[in-house]
Structures are given as C-alpha cells and as structure tokens.
Structure 1
Amino acid sequence: MANSQQGNSGKQNFNVRRKDARAIRNDVEREAFDAFETTPPETNGDEARFDSLDLPGFASFTKALSHNSEDGLVDPASFTSLLDAIEAETQAAFEDVQLGGGVRLLANPLNTYSFQLIGNDSNGARMAAAPAFDSRNTAVDMVERYWMALSRDVPFDQYTTSPLIAEACADLNNLGFEQEFGFVCTPDNIFRGPYEGCDVGPHVSQFLLQDFDFGNQPIRQLQRYPQEGLDFMTDFETWLAVNNGDVDPTGDDVLVGTRYIITLRDAGQWVHIDFPHQSSLWATIILLGKAAAISAASPYASGAITTSDAFGSLGGPDITIQSGFAAVYGLKHAWFQKWGVHRRLRPEVYGQRLELFRRGILGQPFDARFNELFGAGADVWQTTTVLERILEHNKAQNVTFNRGDTDGTWLLPMGFPEGSPTHPSYPGGHSAFIAAGATIAKAFFADGVISDPVVPTADGQGLVPFNGPPLTVHGELNKLIANVTLFRDGAGMHWRTDGTTAGNPGTAIATGGNLLGENMAVSMLRDVKVTYREEVGPFQFDSITGAPIQV
C-alpha cells in the first residue's frame, strides 16, 4: 500500500531536492541583494527649487490633490500630505492624503513599495534624474508634445508630403532637437524612437499590425478609433476640474469605427486601454505562429536535445508568460521611481504653467518672472512657432465643441477626455513594461528577417504586403518598444525622456523607462534561467542602446 501511494516518486530523494531548491533560492537572492543600490536616487532638484521660490509643487505631480480654483496651483497642505504619506510608506498614511474633488483617486501609490521575488527589487534600481523643469531639454520636449497633438490626424503614410509635418520638423530642428535627443527630425523619422530598426519601414511595428491566432481564436488587429479632430482639456475651466479631481471623464471617448492603426490618434487609443502585458504577449504569439527561430541559448534550438520538444520550459507556454511577468514587474520598477523619487509633472501641467503667463496670472510671457521659472527653456518659447499654432487650434476646438476660452489657450490638447493618469510622469509606465516584455522576446527569439511584412491600406481597413527594406525580429521589437512608448506621448501623456534616452548617440543620458524596463528584464532572465533542468546557454542580444547583452 505504501509503495502504491508513493508511486515512482518514491525513488526520488526529496531531501536532496529540498536542499537544491534552497541553494538556488539563496543564489538568486544573493545576486539580487548585491545588485541592490543603496545610494540615494538622483533627482532633478525641482521639488526643493520651487519650494524655495514659495511655489511648492509647481513642477511636481499634484493631479487629484486639492488646488486653488483661480490659478490651478496645488494647495501646499495637500501636497505636504502626499509627501508625508510617501515618506511613511503605509496604507494608513495614504488614507490621510488630502484630495481635491475626490472623484478621481490616486493611482496605486502603494505599489511603490511592493517586493518581487524574481529579478532585482524595484527600490534598488537607479536611473538618471528627469530633465529639470527649467531645462532647455524639457522645453524642446514640450514643443514636440504640441506638434504631436497638432499632427494626430495626419496619416503616417502621408508624413513625407504633409506641410504640417514639414513645419514641425523645421521648428524642432531650429530649436536644436538633435542636440537634445540625438537625431535630426525628418518626415521619415519624426515621432519615432532612437533605436536600431525604429526608422526602417512602416511607422507602426509589425507586432501591432499583423493578424494572428490566439489559440483557436483568429485575432485581427483592427481597433476602435476615435473621432477625428476631437481633443480635450483645451479650456481652462475643464483643465481645472479634471486636474483637481472634480470629475472623472474616463471612458467618454468618442469612438467611431474600427481600423488598423494609421494615425497618432489611432495609436493613442491603442495605448489608452491596453493591458501592460498585451503588446509583448502579442509579439511572442506572432513569432511563435511564424515559427520564428528560437535563441541558440535553448538546447532545443541548438540541437543538443533531439528526443523531446520544449513546452513548459523554453517553449510557447514559458515564453509567453515570462513576457507577461516582465511587464508587471517593470511596472513595479516604474512605480518606485514615479512616486518614491521623481514625482515629475505631466506635460499637460507644463502647458498650464505656460497658460498662466499668457493670461497674466503669474506675469507676462517672457518677462523676468517667466525667465526665472522657465530658465534655459525660456528662449525656446520665444523662438518656436508652435505656440501660435496651438492658440488657433484650441480656439477652434473650444468654438466647435462649445467650451470656454473661445479666444484660445496654450494648454496642451489632450487625446483622452480624462487627460493623463493620476500618477507621476517619470518614468512612463508603458515605456517600462513594454521594454521589459520585449526584452524577454529578444532573449528567447533569434534575430532574423520578419516574414510577410504588411502595411495598412490608406483607409486602415485592410493590410497589404510591405515592399521595402527587410524588417528584422529584433528591429521590430525595438520599434514596438518605441511605438508603445511614444504613442502615449502623442496622446499628451508623457515626455519623450519619460521613455527614451536623451542626448547624442554615444553620450546619451540614461533617462526613461525603456532602459529601466530592459535592465529589470535582464535581472529576471538571470534568475529564471537557473531554474531550468535543461542546459541553457547564454542569452545574447543587443540592448536598445546597441550595446551587447549576455545573460
């Protein structure tokens, strides 16, 4: 009887297995412990600077807190209550945060302090400080936010002939976009990422275009798209109500049909309601469906194993779930940086600060007070041509949709009715989770040419073959990272530096969630691969920076 209860497992020495499991846990714990950086994170100093100017929270995240109804600046006591809760790190302390209208709530600040048992701990990761509010980099970045907003309805396949896109390129280049972000803007690369493959072929990655089978379900990558020409939060009254949390218009988008992604407005809607693991999961399923070459790190791919196939380890179930794990862990890393360190304001708030001067509430545009607050960026606002465009655009929006401020504003036209989320801007959550998930895909799949590339038809209702330079697996994964990151920028949610690196190639500043997410995924691969019984070789692929990575 005893033997039948034990079955074949009775031959296994579970005491040895128990010790082996503990040894592996100890080894990965030691790696994560050694990687935990204990020096204080670097910040841009904005919080202290504006507190000293008697403008607490002026350049910080304050959405959903209590704000002055006249100028939209945060109530100092409300801001202090948030800082106190962040320092306390407890659920009870966050219950004491003084909100504004109370309809819109803070987005999960306690996730800042979550622990994770795979990969490096979020609180031990470090990244470059966000560019300061008064920097030239932030000002040029904001100019790009404005041009993206104005360009939301220009089809990607018309960029090379669009006068608006040509004007945007000319303005950004005149302001020194290359110096700040590493490349000269052209109609072929504007609003794209700086990584290998991002400027090759269609604007949209193949992993957001190609149809595929999700198990027994055929998935066409058609998506609901918003009404053309409809932007939000272009009048001061609505901006104040949304920022103070008096209203929560989430879900009030006007969606008019389905099509493949052909404009920035379409793209913004994709990243409006996606799940963190969705884009990288789509990529892994598409590659599995294409029978794309698996990394030589796998003994099943290298030919070292010839009598069995990969499945729960190193096969489809494993690869797809690992990208999902990486995405949610990348989100935890982003949340620590957002709430616990940087608390950077969103572009929609920077635009409101400009509007305060246009209205004469804080002073006049380009006066001494303006120059003091905007610093090196002040010259950008005297040079750019985009403010006149934005004033006219918002005037038309407000007249057409019966809003206030029918003479126009300098507010950033938002792609979503609720504007940005109620968590700080830096780094972008999307930028961290897509980089983490796509890095897992780069590790498990060998690079090679993407088969049967496609591009949407002009009306977005179908797909046709793409005839152009070869598109590669890793190049299109890099493009996917940049797409999911910059599509949020196109809706007005983020700064370019929230996601990507800043500066010229070779001297880039390690800003943004893309590098944060990639680094997290590498630490996760380090831990996961030691759990396999197979003899796994090194995962080898290139970083988004171009540097070789081996795990």
Structure 2
Amino acid sequence: MVDCPSNTAQQHDYEARRTEAADLRDQQRDAAANEFNVTSAPVNGDEVRFKNIGLPGFASFTKSLTHNANGLVDPSSFQSLLDALQVGTQEALEQVQLGGGKRQLVNPLNAFSFELIGNDSNGARMAAAPTFDSRSTAIDMVERYWMALCRDIPFDQYANSGLIQAACDDLNALGFDEQFGFVCTPQTVFRAPYEGCDVGPHVSQFLLQDFNFGNQPIRQQQRYPRPGVDYMTDLNSWNQVNNGDIDPSGTDILDGSRYITTMRDAGQWVHIDLPHQAGLWATLMLLGQKAAASKAIPYGVDITTSVPFGSLGAPDISIQAGMAGVYALKHAWFQKWCLHRRLRPEVYAQRLELFRSGLLGGHADTPCNNEKFNELFGAGADVWRHTEVLDRIYEHNRQQNIAQNRCDRNGSWLLPMAFPEGSPTHPAYPGGHSAFAAASATVAKAYFADGLFPNPKVPVEGGSKLVDYHTKGEPLTIHGELNKLISNVTLFRDGAGMHWRTDGTLSGRNAGHGRPGTGIETGGNLLGERLAISMLRDTRYTYRETVGTFEFQSITGNPVRF
C-alpha cells in the first residue's frame, strides 16, 4: 500500500504574526499621534464680534434654528446649539432648540467620530475662514451672484457670452486676482487655480465619459433641472426655509437627461451624489482604460510572476478612493461644527437684502452707504458700492418672483438658489464636497501615473451625445483632469449657491499654479488632500508587496513624495 500525502495544513507561527500585527498598529498609531496638532485652532472671531455688538449668530450658521421675522436667529436657540457642541454627546444635541422642525441638523455627531486609518480629524488644522466683513468675502459673494446669473449658459458658449464677459469684467475690476490668485477670463472663470483646471473643456473627463462598472455600462448622462427656475428669491419663502418651517427637498423640476452642459446641470450632479462617487467613477475609468500604474506599484516591474488583485489591484484601489472620501467628511465635519460655523452665502445675501429693504436700519434708498452698513460689512462695504451685479440680481429675482407666482412680486438681493431647499443644514466652512473630492482624487494620483488623457470627449447637440475633443493648445492629462474633477465637484456646489469659493479652494495671490508658494490654506481641497496622504501613509505598510515612493503634484503645485 502506498502512503498518501498528509492533508495536515501547513503550520504557521500565529503568535509571531499577532505580535507583528500589533507592532504595525502601534507604529501607525504613533504616526497619527505625532501629526495630531494640539494647539488651539484658528477661527475668524465673527461669533464673538457679533455677540458683542448685540447680534449673536448674525455671521454664523443658524439654519433650522428658531428665527425672528427678519430671519435673525433667536439668541437662546443659537446658544443651545453652542452648548450642545461644547459637550458633543448624543444626549446634549437632543436639547438643541430647532425652529419649525421640518429641517434637522446634518450629523453634528460626526464631528466627534474617531478615525482608525490616517490622521484624526480633531488634530487637523486649516486657516480660519475669511471674516464676514472682509473684502474677500464680499468679492466671493459677487462671484456667487454671477454664477447664479450664468447657470443656463452652456460651458462651450462662455467665450461668446456677453454675460460671462460682464462677470469677468466686474470680478477683475473688484480685485478678484488679489483675493483668489488668477484673472477671470471666459476660459478661467468659475474654475479652480490648480494645474490643468483651465485647460480644455470646463467639465472634467471623469464626469463626462462613459465607463463600465463591472459588467454594467454606465452612461454619464444625468437628469437635468428645468432651465430658468431658481428658488428662495423672496423673503417669505427664504424665511420659511431658513427657519425649517418647510422642507422642499426632493421637489426639483427635472426635464430629462443629458451630459453636463451648464452650471445648472452641474449643480444637480453635486446635489444628490455620494461622497465616494466622483473618486470611484474616476478610479473605475482609469482601471478600464488600463492606465499606467504609478512607479510606487511593484507589479510588472519587481513582481513579474503574479498580478495585483486584493492588494494594489482594482478591488483595493477602488475602495481606497471611496474610503478617503468618507474619512474626509469626518475632517470637514469637525471643522464645520466645532470651530468655524460659517454662514452660507444665501444668508449673507439675506443680510444685504435686509439693508436694501430698510429692515435693518439705514435708508432703503442708500442701502450700501450708511453707518450701520459700514459697521457690519467693513472692508466689504466698498465692494457693494462698486459692483455691477446687484442691479442684475434685483431684476433677475423680480422676474423669478413674477414667473413663479411668489408672494413678493418685487425684486430682491437674495441669492437665487438652484435647489428648492437651498443650502444644507450644516455650516459652510469647509465644504464637504471639496474635502471628499480632493481626498478621493489624491488617492487616484498616488496609484496612477500621470500622462496624456486618452480619447478625450466633449458633449454636443445640447448634451445629447459625446464626440471626440480635438486638443487646442495644451493637451489634457490624467492628473490635470483629476485636478479638474476636484475643481468641478467643489465649484459646482458654489454655482448652485451652496458655498463660498474659500470653503473649497486655496486663495490668495500665490494660489494659482505657476506661482510661487501655496496661497492661503483655506478650503476643504487641501484638508482632503492631506487626509488622503495620511491614509496612504498608513495603508502602504499593510501590504506584503514592497511599495515604492508615492510621487505626484499637490494642488498647491508643490511635489509630494513619501
């Protein structure tokens, strides 16, 4: 009789493995702890300033709390929010005094969540948001108005649009370059200052091209809202939404499907997307294109007898991009709720309208030129005396109120909102979309090499189909289109009226690519990028493969190597 081979499983030294795993966890815990900043976080001082002059919450997030007839928050309701956030427990937040109760606060407890991959959210630091009375905030608001007015202009018609040129002229005359790092032209307006963002079509290839999700073909046509319909352009509807008396979420008027063609289309994409969606789409597209891996990936170079899969392959890389998006939300939520509590642009515009209508003192015939206005708007007051946008906004809102049969048939200086419910019920700074888009795109930059973007497309015939894009001048690149993806997801929210530019992007004279320095570190883009780098720092040591150096360019224009 022939003896059969033993079926006994190969013996492993599990004790040694347990020790190695514990050591690795300790190592990454120490790396995150070493980067945890325990110094006081910078804030802009608006909360204290307006409390001291008898207007608590005037320049802060208060949506869905209790407000008076002029849309100003009830001091006790506002204080109940501050008290609850100081405690940071589920029980404490149940004591917040809401207004109408139809809209509720969005997930403030996430500000206190811990992270087991990458750096902890509470240890991250970013620049304070620009103050309410700053010139930066005023010019930022002027851009919000122009973006609203230009929502229905096709991106490929910007060069021929008199309205776009008027926006550029007004913003440049006010000093947009000084505040945000670049001059506005039809090719640069409403874009971010990162490399690749001003090259080629306005919309990133990662939001245009069709791709496969496993065996399912995904067409990137999306439902688009009815052109010419804006919301919250009269004080009656504005007050109801702000106080939480109504919740019109989900009542968008959608007319059909097409590829993203206008800012209004783009706003709808970022209206109902998920945090991991843009990064996952980009990663799946690059995998489908068989894009070259970065030099950090050893497969095909040092490893030639096997291919990647659960580690450094499609299942791994795609989920890393998604996880970075969700973890970036924790970072944004800590900054939003625990530190900055910045008001949304729709509220700043309402403060302007209170002066225009004579409800906040001064004279309605000279709303931007009185002592009270100068006191509250500070350096920004001069911007409102010189911009050309307010008359256009008044007339636009007058026409909206008549066409939509709203209570007040006159015009206003309110910000025309793309969504019926206006902005979400969480603070503006930093933008959640800006953080998670940058985090996901940074993971893609780390795992995929830069190079020419293959077979770029552009929508035609009203967005009904895509055709080949023939490069005019500088070609599109993979990392440039990832930067543009960050820009799009960030600024499409601005175009819908949700955010300030400084909620998302770097600002200041050094913010533009090709300029020295990194600009002012405002916004969620840099916050998300740094979170992604800390996650990659941790995950790289979990692989059995020898991972090389990750190398790519930061949105600041500076090299990243680790």
Normalising by structure 2, we get a TM-score of 0.96
Task: Provide the C-alpha distance between the structure 1 equivalents of 2:339 and 2:557, rounded to a whole number of angstroms.
Answer: 28
Task: Provide the C-alpha distance between the structure 2 equivalents of 1:202 and 1:507, rounded to a whole number of angstroms.
Answer: 25
- Is residue 487 of structure 2 the alignment partner of residue 487 of structure 1? no
The within-5 A match list for 1:468-547 is: 468=471, 469-505=474-510, 506=517, 508-547=519-558
Which residue of structure 1 aligns with residue 322 of structure 2?
324
Task: Provide the C-alpha distance between the structure 1 equivalents of 2:134 and 2:354, rounded to a whole number of angstroms.
Answer: 19
Task: Provide the C-alpha distance between the structure 2 equivalents of 1:320 and 1:7, rounded to a whole number of angstroms.
Answer: 37
Which residue of structure 1 aligns with residue 12 of structure 2?
12
1:382 pairs, out of 385, 397, 400, with 385
Task: Provide the C-alpha distance between the structure 2 equivalents of 1:507 and 1:292, rounded to a whole number of angstroms.
Answer: 29
Which residue of structure 2 aligns with residue 432 of structure 1?
435
Task: Provide the C-alpha distance between the structure 2 equivalents of 1:452 and 1:147, rounded to a whole number of angstroms.
Answer: 33
Structure 2's unaligned 5+ residue stretches are: 511-516
Task: Provide the C-alpha distance between the structure 1 equivalents of 2:105 and 2:149, rounded to a whole number of angstroms.
Answer: 29
- 1:241 corresponds to which letter in structure 2? Q
Task: Provide the C-alpha distance between the structure 1 equivalents of 2:256 and 2:188, rounded to a whole number of angstroms.
Answer: 28
Which residue of structure 2 aligns with residue 264 of structure 1?
263
The within-5 A match list for 1:78-477 is: 78-301=77-300, 303-364=301-362, 365=367, 366-468=369-471, 469-477=474-482
The within-5 A match list for 1:6-45 is: 7-8=8-9, 10-45=10-45
Deviation at 1:149, TM superposition (A): 0.1
- 2:477 corresponds to which letter in structure 1? T
Deviation at 1:374, TM superposition (A): 0.1
Deviation at 1:361, TM superposition (A): 1.1
Deviation at 1:415, TM superposition (A): 0.4
Deviation at 1:132, TM superposition (A): 0.2
C-alpha contact 2:373 2:381 (8 A) present in aligned 1: yes
Task: Provide the C-alpha distance between the structure 2 equivalents of 1:317 and 1:338, rounded to a whole number of angstroms.
Answer: 32
Task: Provide the C-alpha distance between the structure 2 equivalents of 1:5 and 1:262, rounded to a whole number of angstroms.
Answer: 66
Task: Provide the C-alpha distance between the structure 2 equivalents of 1:415 and 1:245, rounded to a whole number of angstroms.
Answer: 18
For residues 273-307 of structure 1, what are the alpha-carbon distances to aligned partners after superposition, in whole Å with 9 as ceiling and x for unaligned?
00000001000000000000001101104x10000
- 1:36 corresponds to which letter in structure 2? F
CA distance 1:305–1:79, shift in 2 (3 Å): same
Deviation at 1:11, TM superposition (A): 1.7
Task: Provide the C-alpha distance between the structure 1 equivalents of 2:6 and 2:112, rounded to a whole number of angstroms.
Answer: 44
Task: Provide the C-alpha distance between the structure 2 equivalents of 1:5 and 1:344, rounded to a whole number of angstroms.
Answer: 68
Deviation at 1:362, TM superposition (A): 1.0
- 2:283 corresponds to which letter in structure 1? T
Deviation at 1:363, TM superposition (A): 1.9
Normalising by structure 1, we get a TM-score of 0.98
**RMSD (CA atoms):** 1.0
- 2:499 corresponds to which letter in structure 1? H
Task: Provide the C-alpha distance between the structure 1 equivalents of 2:85 and 2:98, rounded to a whole number of angstroms.
Answer: 15
Query: SS of the residue aligned with 1:530?
Result: helix
Deviation at 1:545, TM superposition (A): 0.5
Which residue of structure 1 aligns with residue 514 of structure 2?
none
Task: Provide the C-alpha distance between the structure 1 equivalents of 2:407 and 2:321, rounded to a whole number of angstroms.
Answer: 46
Deviation at 1:405, TM superposition (A): 2.2
For residues 194-219 of structure 1, what are the alpha-carbon distances to aligned partners after superposition, in whole Å with 9 as ceiling and x for unaligned?
00000001000000000001000001
Q: Taking every aligned residue pair, what percent have the same amino acid on both sides?
A: 67
Task: Provide the C-alpha distance between the structure 2 equivalents of 1:239 and 1:447, rounded to a whole number of angstroms.
Answer: 46
Task: Provide the C-alpha distance between the structure 2 equivalents of 1:83 and 1:313, rounded to a whole number of angstroms.
Answer: 44
Deviation at 1:496, TM superposition (A): 0.1
- 1:199 corresponds to which letter in structure 2? D
Task: Provide the C-alpha distance between the structure 2 equivalents of 1:493 and 1:7, rounded to a whole number of angstroms.
Answer: 63
Structure 1's unaligned 5+ residue stretches are: none
Deviation at 1:5, TM superposition (A): 12
Task: Provide the C-alpha distance between the structure 1 equivalents of 2:36 and 2:7, rounded to a whole number of angstroms.
Answer: 43
Which residue of structure 2 aligns with residue 48 of structure 1?
48
Between Structure 1 and Structure 2, how many residues are aligned? 545
Deviation at 1:89, TM superposition (A): 0.7
Task: Provide the C-alpha distance between the structure 1 equivalents of 2:425 and 2:22, rounded to a whole number of angstroms.
Answer: 41
- 2:95 corresponds to which letter in structure 1? D
C-alpha contact 2:518 2:557 (8 A) present in aligned 1: no
Task: Provide the C-alpha distance between the structure 2 equivalents of 1:286 and 1:515, rounded to a whole number of angstroms.
Answer: 24
Deviation at 1:507, TM superposition (A): 5.6
CA distance 1:82–1:7, shift in 2 (3 Å): farther
C-alpha contact 2:429 2:503 (8 A) present in aligned 1: yes
Task: Provide the C-alpha distance between the structure 2 equivalents of 1:89 and 1:6, rounded to a whole number of angstroms.
Answer: 56
- 1:100 corresponds to which letter in structure 2? G
For residues 83-131 of structure 1, what are the alpha-carbon distances to aligned partners after superposition, in whole Å with 9 as ceiling and x for unaligned?
0000001111100000000010000000000001000000000000000
For residues 171-228 of structure 1, what are the alpha-carbon distances to aligned partners after superposition, in whole Å with 9 as ceiling and x for unaligned?
0000000000000100011001100000001000000000001000001100000000
Query: SS of the residue aligned with 2:80?
Result: helix
Task: Provide the C-alpha distance between the structure 2 equivalents of 1:7 and 1:419, rounded to a whole number of angstroms.
Answer: 65
Q: Which moved more, 1:520-529 or 1:504-513?
A: 504-513
Query: SS of the residue aligned with 1:98?
Result: coil
Task: Provide the C-alpha distance between the structure 2 equivalents of 1:298 and 1:188, rounded to a whole number of angstroms.
Answer: 36
Deviation at 1:404, TM superposition (A): 2.1
Task: Provide the C-alpha distance between the structure 2 equivalents of 1:382 and 1:251, rounded to a whole number of angstroms.
Answer: 37
- 1:396 corresponds to which letter in structure 2? Q
C-alpha contact 2:64 2:99 (8 A) present in aligned 1: yes
Runs of 4+ in 1 over 4 A off after TM superposition: 4-7
Task: Provide the C-alpha distance between the structure 1 equivalents of 2:190 and 2:19, rounded to a whole number of angstroms.
Answer: 53
Deviation at 1:7, TM superposition (A): 4.4
